[in-house]
Structure 1
Amino acid sequence: MLGAQELLPALIAKLHEEAEEVASAEPAARLGELADIHEVLAALTAALGFTEAEVDEAAASKPAERGAFARRLWLDEVLIP
């Protein structure tokens, strides 16, 4: 069993691992890999003291501030004079 000091780094490492698995998975296996990420994110959300509703609310406000991937646009950098 992980202690309080070990949990957060372990969850972040697991999230990286699962993201790599999505990237390398065959198309038929991607749904299962995404489910694994979903599980890790739920545990990470709880470990950080947030609720799923709070994360959903934050996610809903982000596109207005920074855009979203819905239109498949990618911004490499922003130059501020």
Structure 2
Amino acid sequence: MAGTAASALLVAVTTAAAARERLEVSREVLVAAVRAGAQLAAVGAVPAALFRTGGVAGVDPLTAIGYQIVVTRSSLIREHGT
């Protein structure tokens, strides 16, 4: 919880600084923060749901492999933009 509060505080400080300097990026900062939060929540929720049903042994191997492919692909897209 402290990490979430610290992140929100950093976004608020960044947005305030951008607004004060009239950089016109406040909206982009907020959109990026909300998007990052949604992605982290989704990436955290999937394994939690999988492992809650029966631990690591209860996870279907194909599901685990598919999840890993999605996570790897999304990180590549984020790094290279394609």
Structure 2 length normalisation: TM-score?
A: 0.34
Greater per-residue helix proportion: 2
Structure with more contact order per residue of length (Cα contacts < 8 Å, sep ≥ 6): 1
Structure 1 length normalisation: TM-score?
A: 0.35
